[in-house]
A and B are shown apart, each in its own frame.
Chain A
C-alpha cells in the first residue's frame, strides 16, 4: 500500500519503528481450556435476562398510573364541579333559578 504524501524513506523508517514494538504473548491456553464454562450457561443467562427485561417492562407500565392519575385529576374535578353546580348558561333556566335562590338572591324569572 502506497499512501500519498508518504515518501519511501519515511515509510521505511516508520515501519522499522513499528517493528520494534513487539509483544510477547503470555496468555495461558491451558488455563482457558480448563476453565471453560458449560455452554448452557449462556442460554440460561439469556432467558433470565429476558425474564428480567419483561419484568422491568411490566414494572414500568405499573409505575405509569401515578402520572396518569395526576394528569386526570383536574379534568375529573372539573367534570364533577360542572355537573354539581349549574352555570346558568345552559338550556335549563330552572337550574339557573335554583342557583340564584341557593345563593340567597331574590330570584329571577325571565
Chain B
C-alpha cells in the first residue's frame, strides 16, 4: 500500500520510463485490477486481460495522470472499467460466464463454497453494470463512496443509491435461489 505522495512520485518516475517504479506499482495493482475485472466480467480470462491492458496504459500514459483529480487507484479502476465497456461493445459479452468448477477432485466443503460462489457470480452478472461496478468497488476493493463516484463519474448520492439497489437486488436473488435449492 502506497501513500498518495509515494504513488505520485512513482507515477512521475514511470512517465520518465522508470521500469522499477512501474514494477512496484504493477505488483500492487495487478492482482487488484484482475479481481475487479474478473468479478465485473464473470470471466477470469477477461479479468486478466483488463488488468494487463490497464497497467499497460499506465506505462504508456503515466504523464496524463493528474494527482489533483484523485488517487491512482481510482484512475486505474476507471481505465479498467472503460476498457471493459469497450470490450462489451466489441462482443466479449457473447462468450458467456466462465464455469468456476473447471478444476477436478474438489473436496466437499470447497465444492459447497464453489456453488455459492457461482450463485454470487451469476447474481452479480444480472445486475446492471453500474450497480455491479459500484458494489464491487465498494465491497471487494474497499473504495470509499467518494472514490467510487470518481471511478464511475457520478455524484455521491447516485453512488449511494446504486449500492443500496445493488445489495437489495443481489440479496433478493440469492434468497430466492437458496429457497429453491435447500
Chain A residues within 8 Å of B, Cβ to Cβ: 1, 3-6, 10-11, 13-15, 17-18, 20-23, 25-27, 29, 32-33, 36-37, 39, 41-42
Interface 1/0s, chain B 100-139, versus A by CB < 8 A? Answer: 0000000000000100110111001000000000000011
- The verdict on A23 contacting B35 (CB below 8 Å), with A6-B171, A14-B170 known, is yes
CB pair B30–A32 under 8 Å, yes or no, is: yes
CB pair A39–B121 under 8 Å, yes or no, is: no
CB pair A3–B167 under 8 Å, yes or no, is: yes
**CA–CA, A84 to B38, complex, Å?**
77
Q: Does chain A have a CB within 8 A of B93?
A: no
Chain B residues within 8 Å of A, Cβ to Cβ: 17, 19, 22-23, 26-27, 30-31, 34-35, 38-39, 44, 47-48, 51-52, 55-56, 59-61, 113, 116-117, 119-121, 124, 138-140, 145, 163-164, 167-168, 170-171, 174
CB pair A39–B60 under 8 Å, yes or no, is: yes
A-B interface pairs (CB < 8 A), number:
87
**CA–CA, A12 to B55, complex, Å?**
35
CB pair B39–A1 under 8 Å, yes or no, is: no
CB pair A27–B121 under 8 Å, yes or no, is: no
Output the least CB separation between B49 and chain A (Å).
9
Q: Which residues of A contact B22 (CB under 8 A)?
A: 33, 36
CB pair A23–B19 under 8 Å, yes or no, is: no
Q: Which residues of A contact B138 (CB under 8 A)?
A: 1
**CA–CA, A29 to B52, complex, Å?**
9
**CA–CA, A41 to B124, complex, Å?**
38
Main secondary structure of the interface of B (DSSP, over half): helix
Residue of A nearest to B44 (CB): A26
Residue of A nearest to B119 (CB): A17
Tell which of B19, B51, B168, B171 touches A33, judged by Cβ atoms closer than 8 Å.
Answer: B19
**CA–CA, A26 to B33, complex, Å?**
11
**CA–CA, A75 to B167, complex, Å?**
67
**CA–CA, A5 to B171, complex, Å?**
12
Residue of B nearest to A41 (CB): B60
Residue of B nearest to A10 (CB): B171
CB pair A14–B31 under 8 Å, yes or no, is: no
Output the least CB separation between A83 and chain B (Å).
57
**CA–CA, A4 to B52, complex, Å?**
38
CB pair B44–A1 under 8 Å, yes or no, is: no
**CA–CA, A4 to B168, complex, Å?**
10
Q: Which residues of B contact A1 (CB under 8 A)?
A: 138, 145, 163
Q: Which residues of B contact A25 (CB under 8 A)?
A: 30-31, 34-35, 51
Tell which of A17, A26, A41 touches B174, judged by Cβ atoms closer than 8 Å.
Answer: A17
**CA–CA, A6 to B170, complex, Å?**
12
